[in-house]
Amino acid sequence: YTAALFIAWIIIVVTSLAWNVFHEKQNTRELALMEARIHFNKDLAFRSWAAMNGGVYVPPTQKTPPNPYLYVAERDIKTTSGQALTLINPAYMLRQVMTYYSELYGVKGRLTSLKVLNPVNEPDAWERSALQDFERGQKEVVDFIKTEGEPRLRLMRPLFTEKECLQCHAFQGYREGDVRGGISVTVPLRPYLAIEQKVIMGVALSHGIFWLLGMLAIGLASNRIEKRVRERNMAQEQLEHQAFYDKLTKLPNRTLFIQHVKEEIIRSKDMGNQFAVLFLDLDRFKNINDSLGHVIGDKLLVIMSERLKDCIRPDDVIARFGGDEFAILLRNCKEVSGATRSAERIQKKISVPFRLDKHEIFLSVSIGIALSETGYESEEDVLRDADTAMYRAKARGRACYELFDVHMYTAAINLLQLEADLRRAVENKDFQVYYQPIISLHDDRILGAEAVIRWTHPQRGPISPMEFIPLAEETGLISEIGGWILRTACAQNRAWHGAGYEHLLIKVNFSACQFYHEDILELIRKALRESNMNAQFLDIEITEGVAAADKSIALFRELSNLGIKISIDDFGTGYSSLGSLNRLPVNTIKIDRSFVRDIAVDHHAGAIVKTIISMAHNLSMKVLAEGVENEQQRLFLKSHGCDEAQGFLFSPPVPDIEFSRLLVRWGQ
């Protein structure tokens, strides 16, 4: 429909432009013709006057010598004073005037005939043709032609023999009323064409502006109709893309990579195709983030991904699992040497220094390799063994690769040691619970806090939850650690209630392993009983993946029946089923920080955030934005109806004592 309107508008404007250009060209011709006729009438009037007076006597000069073709007895006379005079007859006089006028104004006039006395008056080809037309009764001949490389208008009209003319031309056989010749007028068209060109340029410009305004009007009208649909579709596509691709590097993520590995396992069974999986982890990348900042770290990861692409074949698959972890699927890898050569090629490529913002950064990568000849049944087993081999490579001193085999006892010992350290941390209460405030965007009040875990290792110092939580999930320690966090957070929130902050809500994260534990309900009930905290002030946060699982629905309803609130954490980074979301008793949706970070500069991120807010409100859910770091982000979220926010703009996670000071400072 929009294209049809555009085409119709173009046809209208082009038709109008063509008509105006044609009209202007016609106007130019008419003006030139009018001038030619005026000059003809002037020449004819002058000749008639001269003929009526029988000519004029003038002193002969170089320019006006006696007319040798004038056969009159008294052509040359002398006055009584001795002054010589020669008779200028009408034809001779008109030719003199025409020549002089042409020199002054460029408009040429000629008096010619088929029977000329003076060869100078001999007609040219065009004039001869016109004179012949006059013999046949035509009254005027007009042509637009080019002579001597210049465009000109030529006009010619006939002259008839009058009584006064017989005095000079009777001897040629003319009778009164005969066509004796004609006067031709040649008008240069270049001045007219110059004016015409300016007018046409003005007409074209005005039509261009008119066309542009019309196109803009049509475009804006169509855009109003399509804008919401387009934004909604783009937001949906972005959400689906986030489910399978890494936002930073644009590489496939873990979910999509696992699908490829699963397909390759099936091919290996059906067709005997061999493959290899390489698990990559950048060595000491955390030090780069800590020293140079996350911006440099992100740029480094993007360049890293481009280098990795150069190391693989078109059919191979490379993915980013998160942080500094990458994985590569080598298809049709028939020999061990093929996988090891790829690993060596990658290490050589990564060893070339990276130059970013005047920094020269040296990186190395530890690689674990799992080969399909082991006979894998599960894609998770392949990744697990490649990951195990990678840790073995790190244990050997980093910057190397290791093939997985069942005798990797060193890797197992390392895992056991870290597991022992985790258990010891629980026993010795080496963990700390920090609290990050949740702020109402409606009235700027602290509504509650999210409880986050911190671990300071006696030898290694602070360890990121991203490092020890996955191991805790794998070894089953997550239930014990999660239970301790839950009990501590509930007890602290109850203490704040006792101090007069009775409205505070406490949010606690639950991993998939912890959420699906068979004793999860009893664990939560026990924490509420021991802390004597009302269940309505507990908010359990789970990921999209947990929310999308069918087995979560019954558990969600039991928690809701207890009065516990449920939030979906990092919404938009996983792949939620909107159908199951509609059936779940979810209270709050948390917008992932990756979307919040870009809302001020990325139109698509802003559209996604607005879509999530609108969808949540339509489902009677609240919306909490995490990772709010500046005032511009806060204002955007507030203006589009986001209910709550947390982030460094308000406060980083802090110990309970510092959080109590925050409550006082915020005037709660």
If you search the block for the tokens 């040296």, which residue do you land on?
362
User: Which residues, at least 6 apart from 383, have a Cβ–Cβ distance to it below 8 Å?
Assistant: 258, 261, 277, 279, 327, 370
pLDDT tens readout for residues 460-513: 788 888 878 877 887 777 888 889 999 999 999 999 999 999 999 999 998 877
Query: Two tokens at 270?
Result: 């059906």
- H or E segment to which residue 519 belongs: none
Query: Two tokens at 211?
Result: 């066309």
Report the first-to-last Cα separation within the chain, whole angstroms: 57
- Least reliable range by pLDDT among 170-184, 244-258, 598-612: 170-184
User: Which residues, at least 6 apart from 4, have a Cβ–Cβ distance to it below 8 Å?
Assistant: none
Alpha-carbon distance of 383 to 470, in angstroms, equals 14
Alpha-carbon distance of 142 to 53, in angstroms, equals 31
pLDDT tens readout for residues 342-398: 999 999 999 999 988 888 888 899 999 999 887 888 899 899 889 989 988 887 877
Q: How confident is the model at residue 409 (pLDDT cuts 50, 70, 90)?
A: very low
Residue 103's pLDDT is: 66
pLDDT tens readout for residues 142-157: 888 887 778 888 888 8
Alpha-carbon distance of 406 to 651, in angstroms, equals 47
With a pLDDT cut of 70, the percent of the chain lying above it is 89
Residue 472's pLDDT is: 82
Q: How confident is the model at residue 580 (pLDDT cuts 50, 70, 90)?
A: low
Residue 217's pLDDT is: 85
Could you tell me which of 321, 319, 322 has the C-alpha nearest to residue 330?
A: 319
Residue 410 has pLDDT above 60, yes or no: no
This prediction has a pTM of 0.44
Q: Are 489 and 506 in contact (CB under 8 A)?
A: yes
What type of residue is 267?
R
With a pLDDT cut of 90, the percent of the chain lying above it is 34
Residue 170's pLDDT is: 53
Check the CA dihedral 417-421-422-426 and report its sign.
Answer: positive
- Least reliable range by pLDDT among 14-28, 57-71, 240-254, 530-544: 57-71
- Least reliable range by pLDDT among 390-394, 610-614, 625-629: 390-394
Residue 508's pLDDT is: 96
* pLDDT higher at 551 or 554: 554
Query: Two tokens at 127?
Result: 């004039």
Mean per-residue pLDDT, 603-613: 90
- Residue 82 exposed, middle or buried by CB count within 10 Å (0-12, 13-18, 19+): exposed
- Mean pLDDT value across the chain: 84
Q: How confident is the model at residue 579 (pLDDT cuts 50, 70, 90)?
A: low
Residue 318 has pLDDT above 90, yes or no: yes
pLDDT tens readout for residues 643-660: 999 999 999 999 999 999
Domains within the chain, CATH numbers bracketed: 2-54+89-193 (3.30.450), 254-407 (3.30.70.270), 415-665 (3.20.20.450)
Alpha-carbon distance of 331 to 313, in angstroms, equals 9
Q: Are 143 and 153 in contact (CB under 8 A)?
A: yes
Q: How far is CA 540 from CA 433, 439, 449, 492, in A?
A: 16, 17, 12, 16
